[in-house]
Amino acid sequence: LHAATATACNNQVDIDLTWSAASEIPLGTTMFVQLLDANGQLIGQADGSPLGIRPDLLPDMPYKVIRDLRRISVGDHQPAVV
């Protein structure tokens, strides 16, 4: 992970992840993005494949920088820090 930012607006949090893989991304790889409240309780998550597609469909890209955007709906909950 090179960088991560989060922005909260209208009961949702947008997460911008910048990362790279040191080698080929195996089929079945899942990224876990979880949002916690101040008590450490899970209030939302955006888990799934890198870039939302199967890793075998990604071009061969060891060390290539990837930007992956995730959105988490939080309803009435407040994240601990954004």
Residue 34 belongs to some domain of the structure: yes
Please identify which residue in the block is written with the tokens 């992956």. 68
Residue 3 pLDDT exceeds 60? yes
For 41, phi then psi, to 5°, come to: -85, 140
Kindly state the percentage of the chain with pLDDT values over 70: 83
pLDDT of residue 80: 58
Residue 6 pLDDT exceeds 80? yes
Residue 78 belongs to some domain of the structure: no
- Per residue in 18-45, pLDDT tens? 988 888 778 778 889 998 888 888 999 9
Residue 30 belongs to some domain of the structure: yes
| pLDDT interval class at 59 (50, 70, 90) | low
Task: Count structural domains, the chain.
Answer: 1
Residue 10 belongs to some domain of the structure: yes
Helix (H) or strand (E) holding 67, with range, is strand 66-73
Residue 81 belongs to some domain of the structure: no
